[in-house]
Every structure is written in C-alpha cells, then in structure tokens.
Chain A
Amino acid sequence: MSYGMLFNWARPSIYIPTLIGGPTFQLLFFAALGSYATNRSPAYFAIGNAVQVSALAGVFGMTMAIANERWFGTLPAVLATPANRLALFAGRFMPFVLNGLFVSLYAFALGVIFLGVRIAPGSLAVVGLGLLVTVFSCTAIGALQGAISLRLRDGLFGANLVMMSILLFCGVNIPLRELPTWMQVVGNLLPFTHGLEAVRQAADGAGLGQVGGLIAIEFGVGCAYAAAAFALFRFLEVSSRRNATLDVR
C-alpha cells in the first residue's frame, strides 16, 4: 500500500517517461559516448547502465517511500501506531526491489537487442542473483537517503546525488582500476560496485564459485546500509518526538 500511495512515479504518466523512457536513452547515450571515447564495445556500457538504472527505482523510490510520509502529513499517524518498526521499515523494500529488477531487466533486453550484450546461457542464474543483490543494496542506500530526508528540505537532492555518484564511482562506465585511488575507495564503500562487477563477470560466463565473493560483499554492503538507515530512522523518530518536530516541514 505504501508503494502506491507514497511513490509519486507509480502512475503510468510518470512511470513510463521516467522509468522506461529515461533508462532507454541513458543506455543509448552512454553506449554511444563510451564506445566513441574509449573504443570499447557498446555492450560494456550497456551492461553497466542496465544495472545502474535499477537504482532509479531503488534510490528514488525508497527516498519517496520514507520522506513522503512527512510531506503528505501521514508520518505522525504511522509513528503513533504500535506496529513493529522493523516490519514497518523492511516492508517497504520489497516493491522497490521488484521494481528495480523490472527496470533493469527491461534495460538488459534493450542491450541484448540493440547493443550487442550477450549473457552466457549457463550463467543466467548467477547474473540474476547478482542483479537481485545489487538492486537490494541500491534500495538500502535509498532507505538511508529516505531517513536523512526526514530532516531535509529537499530529500530528492540527496537521491540525485547518490545516482550521479553511482554513475561516476562504481565502475558503471569507467573500470574501477582506471579511477584515482581515492575514487576507488569511495566506489568500494558505495553499494553497487561489487554487484555490478559480479554481473559483468557472470555475463562473461563466470560461475557462482568465481563471483560468489563479490555477491556476498555486495549483500554485506547492502545490509550495512539498511541497518544504518533503520538506526537513523529510529534515532530521528525519537529525537523528533522529544523536540516536537515530527511534522515540521
């Protein structure tokens, strides 16, 4: 229910231009730019961006799912209920993970049809697992951003910044090893980096034995962000009650 109510983009008139049209052109733009600038295959950029567009749903969706409670004036009512906070918080993940997966699979299909993306048939399950875990960790950083947004004037500022950071730091278009050391460190601390690498290797035919470690790290990073998001959410709830700022906009 929170998905339909709080996710502003859930209606077709916004969903189609934003989560179908936008990713389509993002894929084409970076495939064209990347292959022109580096002479690499467009498929390399198509895979990176096909995974990255899942963050549109995860990061923006979760930010809206939490921050919009405040903007729509429903936050006090939600927090007044005796419902288990963890269940309340965790229940919001599922639709956005599924949504992110859908957007990403659509982008992958585009990549396969138009940009020469090929996935080793034996690795489809591993690619799927890598993708699922990556989308989860992106949704987790979206949850953290949503919790931060409970105190900010414009929550989507942070969501946009996270999206751009993923594009730059996480090996979407530039291999991590080609970035300066400090950028590699930032990339390794962000969700997405290890998951994307796992998806890339699995698409080339690597099995779970080879990329299982990367997927596990990505899952760990995602869980860490989810835990931080929940802790911040609880902290802000308590401090908002204490300072009577629960509904201040």
Chain B
Amino acid sequence: MSGARSLRLIWFVTWFNVRMLLASEFFVLLTFIGPLIYATLGFFLFRSGGGTAGHTLLYVALGAGMMGVWSTTLFGCGGAIAWQRWEGTLELLVNAPTRYDFILVGQTFGAVVFGFYGIVATLIWGVVLFGMPIEATFPLILPLSLLAAVVSLGSLGMLIATTFVLYRHANALGNLLEYPIWLVAGLLVPVATLPFWVRPLSWLLAPTWGMEAIRGAAIGTEPPILAIVMCFALAVVYYLAARVALIYVLAKARRDATLSLQ
C-alpha cells in the first residue's frame, strides 16, 4: 500500500469517525458541554480565590478544553475496537487488504480531532461570558503545538484502544481514568503543586506535554520547543507499543476464535 493511499485511508476514517461522533449525544456532551461546565467551574473557583492564582482566564479555558479532549480520547478510543465488534465490522476490517492499524489510527485520530472542537467551544464560551481576551504569545508556533498535541494524543488513543479491549468493560476504565489524568497532567492544577512522585508520571502522559505545548504557545514566555518534541517522541513510543499490543490482541482473538464475540 503506497504512502499516499495510506494517508488517504487514515484521512477518510478520521473524517468518518468525526461525523459518527457528532451524531452521538454522549460524545457531544463529553466534548462540548462538559468542558464548558468545567471551564465555568474553574472560572468561578479561581475568581472565588480572589484572582486567578497568577494565571489568566485563558489558562483555565485551555485546561478545561483539554479536559474535554482527554475525555473524548479516553471514551472514543477505549471503546473503538469493542464498538467494531458490536457492530459486526471488526472481522471485515481485520481481514480487509488494508492494514488494520491504519484504520485504527484514523479512528483514534477522529476521536482526538473531535475532542479539539471542545477547546474551540470553551474559548468562545470564555470570550462571550467572561470577557476573556484571546491572545497568543507565539502565534506562529501555535499550529505546530496543536498538531503535536493531536498526534501524541492520537497515538495514546491507539494504545488505549488496543489495551482496553482486553478488559471486558472498557467504559468502566474510562470512568476510572478521567479524573486522575486531569489531575496528574496538570490541566488545571500545575503539576509543581502536586506531590513530587507524581511528576515522573506526568512526563509519560501525552496530555501533559500537549497542554504545555499549547499553553506555551498561547501564554508562555518561551517557545514550547521541549513540549513539542516530547509530544512527537511520545507519539512514536505510543504507536510502537500500540502496534505490539494490536498484534498480540488480534493473534489472541484469532487463536481463541473470539474476534467477533462480544
């Protein structure tokens, strides 16, 4: 399969999945309404403290938006393979001449791209309700930061998709992992304020670096080069780990004849 055809396939599946998620009330809530509620909560909490704890409203809005991105990634990717099973398309996709991991890449990127719509919604919410100024210290780096965040979260999503499928109730894992990653990745509370042993954990997470890359470009004092590099580096590591997990999962499913079992 040529590179151009692979990219076309990934693009098609990404777009297809974005449209599928748009039709889901649950994902609309997760991506659009949830972040607005958390952003409002964040605005009031920081205001209640007599300021923004040294941060701008944009800091809160971006953090709340990224919370939505993580939720969409977690639930959208966690159930990706399980949904194909339920819909009866998994066997067809796995046995199609196209590489299944490319299909999965498109599916997980679709969830992440959909999640990023939530950041836009949160920014509009902040401007309209709280008079938040939209600013970017490094506007030329911002698109690269967004791309880095999408790529790293997409790859993490693929790892989530290939590992969560081993657990029968992937959505329950989603319920478990929403808050801890919001906390450990420093989306609203800086990692520096958390216990020291949390910091190494946060370095392994795409949302940490994705958030730092976006915030660095928007409100940072220095270009977030390290964060962008870490996003791409983690993306490679996640993708390789996901490939290994996928090979194992598919081999196991074929061996046990459970590919189509729910």
Write the residues of chain A forming the contact surface with B, with a CB cutoff of 8 angstroms.
9, 11, 13-14, 17-18, 21-22, 25-26, 28-29, 32-34, 36-40, 153-154, 156-157, 160-161, 164-165, 167-168, 173-175, 178-179
Contact = CB atoms under 8 A, between A and B. Distances in A.
A187 to B, nearest CB: 12
Contacts of A39: 49
Report the 9 A-B pairs with minimum CB-CB distance, sorted nearest first: A25-B179, A17-B176, A38-B49, A21-B176, A157-B25, A37-B45, A17-B172, A14-B172, A18-B175
A108 B136 CA distance: 42
A156 B26 contact: yes
22 contacts: A9-B172, A13-B167, A13-B172, A14-B169, A17-B169, A17-B172, A17-B173, A21-B176, A25-B176, A25-B179, A26-B179, A28-B183, A29-B180, A33-B45, A37-B46, A38-B45, A154-B24, A157-B25, A160-B34, A164-B34, A167-B37, A174-B44
B255 to A, nearest CB: 23
Contacts of B173: 17
Contacts of B194: 32
Contacts of A21: 175-176
Interface in B172-197: 172-173, 175-176, 178-180, 182-183, 188-190, 193-194
Contacts of B188: 33, 37
Contacts of B183: 25, 28-29, 32-33
B49 A37 contact: yes
Nearest to B183: A29
A160 B29 contact: yes
B176 A18 contact: yes
A191 to B, nearest CB: 18
B48 interface: yes
Given A29-B183, A32-B183, A178-B44, A18 B172 contact: yes
B40 interface: yes
A92 B183 CA distance: 36
B128 to A, nearest CB: 15
Contacts of B167: 13
Most central of B33, B171, B172 by chain A CB within 10 Å:
B172
B5 interface: no
B26 A154 contact: yes
B157 interface: no
Nearest to A154: B25
Contact of A29 (B24, B40, B182): B182
B42 interface: yes
A173 B37 CA distance: 13
A231 B206 CA distance: 49
Contact of A34 (B25, B37, B45): B45
A164 B173 CA distance: 19
A45 to B, nearest CB: 9
Contact of B29 (A18, A22, A157): A157
